[in-house]
Structure 1
Amino acid sequence: MKAVTFHPSTDTFQLEDIKIPEPGKDEVRVKVQACGINPVDAKVVNWKGMVGDAMNDDWVVGLDVVGVIDEIGEEVEGWNIGDEVFYHGNMTRPHGGLAEYAIHKVNTLLDKPKELPLLDAAASPCAGWTAWRAIVEKLKVNDDDTLLIIGGSGGVGSYAVQIAKNICGCKEILAVASYRNEEYVKSLGADHVICYDKVDVLEEVKRLTNGEGVTKSFDTIGDDNDILAANALGFNGQMLELVRVVRPDKYENVFMKNLTFHQLALGASHEHGNTGQKAIIDAGIGLTVALVNGKVKSPKLMTVDFEGAIDTLNNILKKKVVGKVVLTLG
């Protein structure tokens, strides 16, 4: 089969013909129709050490997979050949979705509704389900909240703005983005777009909140933006950090402001038994219902072939990709 393989010895992606994988006893094989491409796929160069010697030159990345079951493991129940499914894959396991066939355990497999378009299904798991868990499950945003989202035009941020506004009824959303993306982020539902390339973000947060700070903040970018997200909070505020481990010793007045911090890594749920797997399934169902009902829309999408998938992975590493890219197979 055709597949985009990652070679750990050279940190390169190649288009190759490799053997079609066989499912284990609790797995299914999926004939891939589409696969969303995410930063975590490209950044295998950074996390390959988590896999160790099990990673060889036939390793295939690609977490957000849509397709049709074409083979089932001997202990699989409740699924049949021909079922159309989608899922968020486990990055520490081989046989990802940037290939003609992929393998996945059935405990986090979702039935794809006919009403959910193929590209929406492929685009939504990594970014959209993460945003759902962040806004609905972890921060529990409600109609009393003033929410700061850092990275409002990105994959996770664009879903988060819509979920906060259209699902949770957030009172006021302040989203950080570049000036060129200001109108796009407003169209998603942000009440205020703070253009980091035009103003001092923290000062603008203080101005918009009359000096009180926001009730909740969500950093989707990383680097030192956790400091900004924490310092923008008011008394009893809550922050969710998506990219790095929180650093309370770096933030202002944490104890006297009674601040609370959350962490989130969607894929980590695969490794934490029924509780973790339920978190993935619940997020997938929640966002899928919102997509089907039109309360949330996917970000701007671009489709590519296998060669384009390799270009996308390399461009992500060069920070040259804008919007969501999906591999489609005819």
Structure 2
Amino acid sequence: MKAITFNPENDKFSLKEVPVPKPINNQILVKVEAAGLNPVDSKIIYWKKMVNNMSQDWIPGLDVSGYVEAIGESVKNFKAGDRVLYHGDMFKRFGGFAQYALQNADTVIKHPELDAVRAAATPCAGWTAWRALVDKLRITSEDTIFIAGGAGGVGSFAIQIAKYFKLGKIITTCSAQKTQYVRDLGATHIIDYKNSDVVEEVLKITAGEGVTKGLDAVGRDNDILVADSLSYEGEMVELVDFCRPESYKNSFMSGLTFHQLSLGSGHRNGKKAEETLKKAGERFSGLVEDGAISVSVTKVISFTEVPDALTEMLLKKSTGKIVLKI
């Protein structure tokens, strides 16, 4: 089969012919229709040492839309021909940038009524946004929220989820060029992070109180901006780095609460974690099916274009959502 492989010896992505893997136990073999490209795929050069004995033909690709081709002997809930969608395990060898991929059946969902390209664009960013706002922050219409990085993958979905839950104030940061984009998604207040004191602006918008909920989808000290924008007993989710309460203003005396979130942790913490991952995928996909959340795909590419696309993503030279269509 054709596959994009990663060689940990030289950090190169290549298009190769490799054998089709065979599913065992609780695995399913998926014939890939489309696979979304995500920053975590390109950053394999940074996390490769977390994988013991990574092979020279490791296949990345976490977000996969396709059909079940074959099943392992323990699989009960899927059969050949079923259409599926999933967010894969970054520590498993046979990812989605290939004609066929392997995945644990317990973290796979029935494919939503969407075309393959749009579906493959959603899991990493969309399911993360759902888990952050719904599972961790438990947002309601009574909340106000500040989302750092509203024009990014997670941020853009988070704005739409907040709008769906009818939050009155949805505050976000972006560059001046992306203002209309995030406004169309549902942001009620937009701060140009390059030319504003972000915390001061959030406090102005909330009459000095701060927001009840916050999300950092950027990293690079944006956790400080989010934390310092919270109201008394406010809560925030950090997606990129570690929470560091000692760096936040009055975090103890304000009774703030901090959450860490890694979508991929759903693959390595038992059945409850797997069910949490699946439920997030099902709930988020339902909103996309119903038209409550829009999915924007910037570019659809072929196998030959994937190595360069991943390299450009690593160098932060690409923008928007890119999906491999097979």
Normalised to the residue count of structure 2, the TM-score between the two structures is 0.98
Partner letter of residue 189 of structure 2? H
Kept in 1, the 8 Å contact 2:118–2:297? The answer is no
Give 1:256's match in structure 2, choosing from 250, 253, 256.
253
Shift of 1:309: 1.4
After TM superposition, the structure 1 stretch with the greater mean CA deviation from structure 2, 175-184 or 192-201, is 192-201
How far does residue 314 in structure 1 lie from its aligned partner after superposition?
A: 0.4
Matched, 1:58 2:57: yes
Q: Choose 295-304 or 171-180, whichever is displaced more.
A: 295-304
Which amino acid in the other structure matches residue 328 of structure 1?
Answer: K
Deviations 1:119-143 (A, max 9, x none): 2210110000000001111101111
| Letter in structure 2 aligned against 1:40 | V
Contact 1:142-1:171 at 8 Å conserved across structures: no
2:190 to 188, 193, 205: 193
Distance in 1, matches of 2:277 and 2:298, equals 23
Q: Is the 8 A contact 1:155 1:299 kept in 2?
A: no
- What is the deviation of 1:301? 3.1
Dislocated runs of 4+, deviation >4 Å: none
Structure 2 residue 148 is matched with structure 1 residue 160: no
Aligned to 1:99: 98
Alpha-carbon distance between aligned partners in 2 of 1:163 and 1:124, rounded to the nearest angstrom: 13
Q: Deviations over 1:196-254 (max 9, x none)?
A: 12212112112111221111110001111111111111111101000111001111101
Deviation, structure 1 residue 148: 0.2
Partners of 2:101 and 2:91 lie apart in 1 by 14
Task: Supply the distance in 1 between the matched residues of 2:174 and 2:110 (Cα, whole angstroms).
Answer: 35
Asked if 2 retains the 8 angstrom alpha-carbon contact of 1:158 and 1:299, the reply is: no
1:64 offset after TM fit, Å?
A: 0.3
Amino acid at match of 1:263: Q
Q: Does 1:140 align with 2:163?
A: no
* Residue 147 of structure 2: aligned partner: 149
SS class of match (2:24): coil
**Residue identity matched to 1:240:** V
> Counterpart in 2 of 1:206?
203
Aligned-residue offset at 1:313: 0.6
Q: Give the equivalent residue in structure 1 for 2:4.
A: 4
Distance 1:261 1:240 in 2: 6
> Tell me, what secondary structure is at the counterpart of 2:259?
strand
Query: Any idea what the Cα deviations from partners look like across 1:253-281, whole Å, max 9, x if unmatched?
Result: 01111100001000011101111001111
Tell whether the 8 Å contact from 1:236 to 1:258 is kept in structure 2 after alignment.
Answer: yes
State the shift of 1:42 in Å: 0.5
Cα distance between partner residues in 1 of 2:217 and 2:239: 5
Paired with 1:191 and 1:239, the residues of 2 have a C-alpha distance of 19
Give the 5 Å matches for 1:3-22. 3-22=3-22
SS at the partner of 1:60?
Answer: coil
2: CA distance between counterparts of 1:170 and 1:278? 27
Q: Any idea what SS the aligned residue of 2:36 has?
A: strand
DSSP 3-state at the match of 1:107:
helix
Q: Gapped runs of 5+ residues in structure 1? A: none
> Which letter maps to 2:42?
A
Q: Distance in 2 between matches of 1:206 and 1:312?
A: 40
For 2:128 and 2:109, locate their aligned partners in 1 and report how far apart those are by CA, in whole Å. Answer: 16
Alignment partners' CA distance in 1, 2:296 and 2:202: 25
Q: Which amino acid aligns with 2:9?
A: S
Q: Which residue of 2 aligns with 1:33?
A: 33
Contact in 2 for aligned 1:27/1:73 (Cα 8 Å):
yes
Distance 1:256 1:268 in 2: 31
Unaligned runs of 5+ in 2: none
Q: What amino acid is the match of 1:47?
A: W
The 8 Å contact of residues 118 and 296 in structure 2, kept in 1 or not, is answered as no
The aligned amino acid for 1:86 is L
Matches within 5 A, 1:1-330: 1-53=1-53, 55-113=54-112, 115-166=113-164, 168-329=165-326
Normalised by the length of structure 1, the TM-score is 0.97
The total of aligned residue pairs comes to: 326
Deviation string 1:161-198 (CA, Å, 9 cap, x unpaired) is 000111x2112100111110000000000001111122
Offset at 1:318?
A: 0.6
